[in-house]
Amino acid sequence: MQDILQTIIARKQEEVEALRAPKPSLREALFASRTGIIAEFKRRSPSKGWIHESARPDVVPIGYQQAGAAALSILTDEHFFGGQDDFIRAARRAGVTLPILYKNFVIDELQLYQALTCGASAVLLIAACLSKTKCAELISKAHGIGLEVLLEIHSENELEYTELSADCIGVNNRNLGSFVTDVQNSFRLAERLPRDRVLVSESGISDPAVIRDLRAAGFRGFLIGETFMREANPAEALSRFIAQIQE
């Protein structure tokens, strides 16, 4: 009979190797996609309260994948957004194989390990939350443990952060102080963003025609949450949206 401890250690080695295995690439998925949609699982927000309180993380994300999303974003902040790390685990158990963005307010490297162990492919870093030095440290650490980085900026004042080695650069069209949304923010910043990274427009996108215009401006990723999550069936809403883009 095999020693029980040896059996346990063998299993642990398998689990560690699974953590080290390459994750599906957000950058590559967006670059290759015809739509570039990062469909977001978000049940509530600080400014609007509950958006879709009963939405299930084992149902909506896999539905997004089947509907044609290029990647997923899953809110994991619990206090303000009603999220959990377990939402990503639930999505993976349900069969999601797409890249998943760990969307939270990451300020410490411990949170990078949280993202890794729950099954995320990439992590969001928000320039407004971090000094440039701290942001560079977190990018380096994320890359060191096999995570990609979507670096989010909002204004011209944060353009210097795009010099860092993030895999994707996002422009948030929602002001994180006032929560006012203006998709023109992406167009204003487009020409000043590095073209050697995948560019992502985030928030406030509800019109398929805007996707076409943003693509013409250089964007390849489009993070959309509330447009879909306010519907009874978010996956069906995504499917209709994609059909309109491709018309």
State the pLDDT confidence band at 3, using cuts at 50, 70 and 90.
Answer: confident
Q: Which residue has the higher pLDDT, 47 or 198?
A: 198
- The whole domain housing 57 covers 24-245
pLDDT above 90 coverage of the chain, percent: 85
**Rounded to an integer, what distance in angstroms lies between the CA atom of residue 159 and that of residue 36?**
23
Q: What is the pTM of this model?
A: 0.93
* pLDDT of the residue at 242: 95
Q: Is 194 domain-assigned?
A: yes
Q: Which of the residues are catalytic?
A: 40, 42, 103, 152, 172, 202-203
Q: Is 241 domain-assigned?
A: yes
Q: Is 16 domain-assigned?
A: no
Q: Which residues pair with 84 in a beta bridge?
A: none
Q: Is 18 domain-assigned?
A: no
Is residue 28 exposed (0-12), middle (13-18) or buried (19+ Cβ within 10 Å)? middle
State pLDDT tens for residues 125-136: 999 999 999 999
State pLDDT tens for residues 92-105: 999 999 999 999 99
Which 3 state secondary structure label does DSSP give 194? coil
* pLDDT of the residue at 100: 98
Q: Is 76 domain-assigned?
A: yes
- CATH code for the domain in which residue 151 is found: 3.20.20.70
Q: Is 15 domain-assigned?
A: no
State pLDDT tens for residues 21-44: 889 999 999 999 989 999 999 999
What is the count of structural domains for the chain?
A: 1
Q: Which residues pair with 39 in a beta bridge?
A: 72, 224
Instruction: For the chain, give the number of residues.
Output: 247
State the pLDDT confidence band at 179, using cuts at 50, 70 and 90.
Answer: confident
Q: Which residues pair with 222 in a beta bridge?
A: 37, 201
Q: Is 19 domain-assigned?
A: no
Q: Is 14 domain-assigned?
A: no
